[in-house]
Amino acid sequence: MIKNKTLKTYIGFSKNIQMMVISEALGALAFGIFFFLHTLYFNNIGLPTEEIGLIFSIGSFFSIIVFFMGPFIKVFGRKNILATGSLLIAMGIIICAFTSNFYFLLFSQICINTGNTFIQVTELQLLYSYTTEEKECCAYSYKFSVNFIATAIGTLIGGNLNKIGIFKSFGYVHFFMISAGLLIITFFMRWFLLPKDKREKHDEKAMRKSIGNAVKFLKEDKKVRVFAIFLFLMSLGFGAVGPFNNLVLQKYFSYENSTISIFVFISTVFSMIGLLVMPMIAEKISRNAFDGTLFLIAIATCFILVLPLNRFSFATVLLIRNIFTLLIVSSIDESMMSHMELDFRDVFAGLKLLVNGLSMALGNFIGGFILNNFGYRVNYCYGGIILTILIVLFYFKLKVFFVNKKYVKKCCCHMNRHHVPIRRQQN
């Protein structure tokens, strides 16, 4: 009965919500294809892992522009910035498809990360503006479910389409152009079919005030400082491991792209199931016990990956590790946001993206350097050490902030509301 009511709610959403979700599906399909093949393409053209890490690192650094975007969102409009994000990523993918030059690949990554930031900072608020406050969580769940499914399908397409007769000649360039084409369609749909949102004149004082508020927020609120430190360390660890998982499977264990795509698909499906049942499990055993269990399993799997394992054992343990690290990110992110006062959530969201951008940049560089000079086992050992530091910080510093009152909105979606990081932070 509840599922039927939820489905009716999905179908009954306005044309604008449906357009957002349809374009989200196209964009997620493109991301599923491209991001699955991205690192594998770098390896295929002979790019050293240290240079791969540097490209990801500098690209991630450009995510800090989110810290300065607040006033410009009102000037240019959320819809325009959201649509432009898809176009920037498409441009980055096209550049990537036709070059093996380090500097062009770096510029491509900057375009991709900048476009990704444009999307992250605008899409949820725009989605929520098309519905009522009571249905925001349902609109989010609708979008999130479609995103996961389309990303998983895109991954399978990227790894297996060239196994079908008429597509056997397809290589990386063909797949990248398909991704870019889907994103260009997404751009046109969002630019022309979504309604215009209100815009304001440029105000330098507003920009300085926005930045000043974020800095003041960080200085004066101990909870926010602890959250920021925790997020920094978490992204520092995941940034050094996640982007290189597919490369490790291909380079060190000789898995083909089609097999890796099935591996990623299974990981995505089980992660989605985990995210859906997570609130029920956490409610039964307590959130802190649940988070602690996630950390312990993730730590154990990281250190097991350091051992000399055969191909099947390594892939199985890596699959478990990927699922549980994604659940950690989701659970901690949801807990932080739900314990943040409603009036400060926009500021905290911008601060969070800034911290993640800086730490992912550093983590990507560290991961590429380690993989190039010491081998993949040290990457997972490093990841396990960071997770160990995080669980200590969680129990001694972080969990005290999770025992106070949650600040949540009323939801009429008949679903458990939880906050999931949408865009492609690789774990």
What pLDDT digit, counting tens, does each position of 266-278 carry? 998 888 888 778 8
Residue identified by tokens 């509301």 is: 417
CA dihedral (42, 145, 229, 410) in degrees, to 10, reads 160
Q: Which residue has the higher pLDDT, 295 or 205?
A: 295
How confident is the model at residue 128, as a pLDDT?
81
Alpha-carbon span 315 to 254, nearest angstrom: 11
Q: Which residue has the higher pLDDT, 77 or 416?
A: 77
Q: Is the pLDDT of residue 407 over 70?
A: no
Q: Which residue has the higher pLDDT, 139 or 236?
A: 236
Alpha-carbon span 334 to 407, nearest angstrom: 11
Q: Is the pLDDT of residue 250 over 60?
A: yes
Give every CB contact of residue 9 below 8 A, 6+ residues apart in sequence.
135, 138, 413, 414
Q: Is the pLDDT of residue 409 over 70?
A: no
* Residue % of the chain over a pLDDT of 70: 84
> Cα 56 from chain centroid?
14
Q: Which residue has the higher pLDDT, 9 or 282?
A: 282
Are 376 and 242 within 8 A, CB to CB? Answer: no
Alpha-carbon span 120 to 424, nearest angstrom: 10
Q: Where are the alpha helices (DSSP H) in 130-256?
A: 136-160, 172-193, 204-220, 222-239, 245-251
How confident is the model at residue 418, as a pLDDT?
43
Q: Is the pLDDT of residue 259 over 70?
A: yes
Are 178 and 62 within 8 A, CB to CB? Answer: no
How confident is the model at residue 273, as a pLDDT?
85
Are 235 and 360 within 8 A, CB to CB? Answer: yes
Per the structure block, which two tokens stand in for 294?
């996630």
How confident is the model at residue 272, as a pLDDT?
83
Secondary structure of residue 336 in the 3-state scheme: helix
| Averaged pLDDT, 27-40 | 94
How confident is the model at residue 104, as a pLDDT?
96
What pLDDT digit, counting tens, does each position of 130-189 carry? 887 777 777 877 888 888 889 999 999 998 888 877 777 888 999 999 999 999 999 999
Burial of 216 (0-12, 13-18, 19+ CB in 10 A): exposed
Q: Is the pLDDT of residue 70 over 70?
A: no
Predicted TM-score of the model (pTM):
0.84
Length of the chain (residues): 427
> Please, which pLDDT band fits residue 352 given cuts at 50, 70 and 90?
confident
| Averaged pLDDT, 281-304 | 89
Per the structure block, which two tokens stand in for 199?
């815009």
* Residue % of the chain over a pLDDT of 90: 48
Burial of 205 (0-12, 13-18, 19+ CB in 10 A): exposed
| Averaged pLDDT, 294-302 | 95
Which domains does the chain carry? 14-193+210-402 (1.20.1250.20)
> Please, which pLDDT band fits residue 54 given cuts at 50, 70 and 90?
very high
DSSP state, 195? P
| Residue 143 to residues 54, 176, 364, Cα–Cα distance (Å) | 32, 24, 28
| Residue 148 to residues 165, 264, 267, 287, 308, Cα–Cα distance (Å) | 28, 12, 11, 24, 33
Average pLDDT over the chain reads 84
Q: Is the pLDDT of residue 2 over 90?
A: no
Alpha-carbon span 63 to 354, nearest angstrom: 7
Q: Is the pLDDT of residue 126 over 90?
A: no
Alpha-carbon span 114 to 253, nearest angstrom: 33
How confident is the model at residue 411, as a pLDDT?
60
Alpha-carbon span 206 to 72, nearest angstrom: 9
> Please, which pLDDT band fits residue 415 given cuts at 50, 70 and 90?
very low
What pLDDT digit, counting tens, does each position of 354-403 carry? 888 889 999 999 999 999 999 999 999 999 999 999 999 988 888 777 76
Q: Is the pLDDT of residue 211 over 70?
A: no
Q: Is the pLDDT of residue 24 over 90?
A: yes
Are 293 and 374 within 8 A, CB to CB? Answer: no
How confident is the model at residue 130, as a pLDDT?
85
Minimum mean pLDDT range among 63-67, 79-83, 301-305: 63-67
How confident is the model at residue 67, as a pLDDT?
66
Are 75 and 398 within 8 A, CB to CB? Answer: no
Alpha-carbon span 40 to 35, nearest angstrom: 9
Minimum mean pLDDT range among 99-108, 220-229, 372-381: 220-229
| Averaged pLDDT, 316-334 | 90
DSSP state, 170? -
> Please, which pLDDT band fits residue 121 given cuts at 50, 70 and 90?
confident
Residue closest to 95 by CA, chosen among 81, 82, 85, 106: 106
Q: Which long-range contacts link 252-259 to residues 24+ away (Cβ below 8 Å)? A: 252/376, 253/311, 253/314, 253/315, 254/311, 255/311, 255/315, 257/37, 257/40, 257/158, 257/159, 258/159, 258/160, 258/163, 259/159
